[in-house]
Amino acid sequence: MQKDNSNLQKSDQLLTMRHSCEHIMHQAMVELFPGLKRAMGPATEDGFYLDFDYDGKVTEEDFPKIEKRMQEIIDSDLPIIREEVSLEKAQEMFADNPYKLDWVNQIDEKGAKASVYWNGEPGKSDSDVDLCKGPHVTSTGKVGPFKLLSLAGAYWHGDSKNKMLTRLYGTCYPSQKELDEYLHQVEEAKKRDHRKLGKELDLFVFSDLVGKGLPLFTPKGTILRDNLNNFSQQLRLDRGFQKVWIPHITNKKLYETSGHWAKFGKELFLVTSQETDEQLVMKPMNCPHHQQIYASQIRSYKDLPIKYLETTTIYRDEKAGELLGLSRVRSVTQDDSHIFCTPEQIEEVYTELIQIVKSFYGCLGMTHKARLSFRDPNESDKYLGERELWKKAQEILLTIAKENKLDYYIAEGEAAFYGPKIDFMVMDAIGREWQLATPQLDFVQPQRFGLSYIDEKGKEQTPVMIHFALMGSIERFLSVYIEHTAGIFPVWLSPTQAMIIPIADRHIEFANNLRSELAKAGIRTDSDNRGESMQSKIRDAQLQKIPYMLVVGDKEVAQRGVSVRTRDNQNLGLISFEDFKNKVLEDVKSKR
């Protein structure tokens, strides 16, 4: 599937309508809360938000009256009119709002023109005006059904050194049916929130003493991480990848050479040697290190492709206000890979990586589309490398997508600064789309580091590098996967695969013996030897979403069997211990 212009047009129309709904919310807010200063408010993929400064307090209890006033403005069908104004006029119009004056100054620095949008006839006392580049619908009556959702804090420009503002989220859709479907999805997402489930299932924790955005994984969470990572690595090892290892700090010159320092210098954690005053960096990515392993010896075309893999943690100084559970952290663990190949091998390597993606996500029951993330032709200064190299790289990815019959679309402006990529957009159980696996083509960095190989004619050539992460980051992947499964992991991934439940104290010894035998077979088992009732123990195990509960009493001891119940309340009855053990081993082997 190529770029779907009709879908893109619908998406643009939806964003435009949401942008206008957000302006209607602006108008309602300044009318209802005198003295409120609006800062900024864009439309988003899910709706819109407004950041504002207000000495009083706005709470969710105020939502009904805000929504009522918004609906009145929509029903009035006021014209939405664009007016281009001079910078001096803009400064005069928003003289009492420091946030708008800040935007005016930024417009001035870019050499751009200022524009405002009016809800209502310009200059009239009952009209509302805001600094904005648009676009908007033609009148307030063109805005569809909407809903205010939540409140949060947000720093001005996302900088914790600036004042904390209030952020009000809302959404808007063309029809009530679409809005209701989205609101149902929001409610379902709350139930599946990985932060809530992570605590209930004892998977990970955060500590103020350790620091914000630095998750700590419990024994159960570590089992989940390790099993996913082992699967990810095995899929690549089976195709000729080799493990490497790199340190967690490096000389900043490495990132100056790669170009990361110029692009992301403010996101890096710096480390200074007390011995030599050498400036070091906590590594924010692994590709420059892997390139140094490649560069350590002369390479022949006969050696290529060379495929490195490593699961390792990188560090980025994410803004405190943007940290969110495992979705956005400061310590990011990547199941990372870098492939060095000749230009002629690109298609072969990509086909292999696509098969790995299909195997991994197919096993987990997650469907996906492919987003071809290309450079924005109107913002060439955002990217490194020659325009012709980019054109060639993008044409190659387009050919690969077609030949592999991927369900794909093109997204200009989503490329990395050094190359285009295929982002696999994975759909979760409640219909949300997430960017996870990414094979990324790179002609730029190998040139910057002077990498080479000797071709069949004895001449030096520059290899192509392909960056590939199957999960992307384990933390973010887990945030998606926990919510996708609602914590109901398949048997092979479940931290505890079976809970043995002795009915009475006299059955505890038998339960412990079974636990020991299952452990020797590699089955993760626990035994609930508390003095609670059997029903209470079963309920607790089901709340922990453990796949199997093995009830043992006199009958089970006599027959060396177990009465099996499942987390979804099926009663499988009494079966022999050996049959149960073999069943679980088959579940694990088949990744069920």
Any idea which residues carry the catalytic annotation?
Answer: 287, 316, 334, 336, 338, 421, 467
The answer to whether 136 is annotated as binding is no
278 vs 256, 275, 286, CA distance in Å? 15, 8, 20
Cα distance between residue 445 and residue 465, in whole Å? 8
Spatial strand order in the sheet of 270-272: 249-251, 279-282, 270-272
- C-alpha dist (Å) from residue 435 to 157, 327, 412, 485: 25, 12, 15, 17
| Contact indicator for 501, 551 with CB cutoff of 8 Å | yes
Are 424 and 361 spatial neighbours (Cβ–Cβ below 8 Å)? Answer: yes
Beta bridge partners of 551: 501, 563
The DSSP bridge pattern shows strands 433-435 and 421-427 to be: antiparallel
Q: Quick one: three-class SS letters along 33-82?
A: CCCCEEEECCECCCCEEEEEECCCCCCHHHHHHHHHHHHHHHHCCCEEEE
Secondary structure (3-state) at 407? coil
Token digits of residue 328: 């956005």
Q: Which long-range contacts (CB under 8 A, 24 or more apart) does 575-579 make?
A: 577/514, 577/517
Tokens 């212009």 locate to 5
Q: How far is CA 565 from CA 550, 552, 592, in A?
A: 7, 11, 17
Annotated ligand binding at 338? The verdict is yes
Sign of CA dihedral 10, 13, 19, 21: negative
The strand ranges marked E within 126-213 are 128-131, 146-155, 164-172, 204-205
Q: Are 156 and 99 in contact (CB under 8 A)?
A: yes
Annotation-wise, does 467 bind a ligand? yes
Token pair of 72, please?
């009145």
Binding-site members are 287, 338, 467
Binding-site members for Zn(2+) are 287, 338, 467
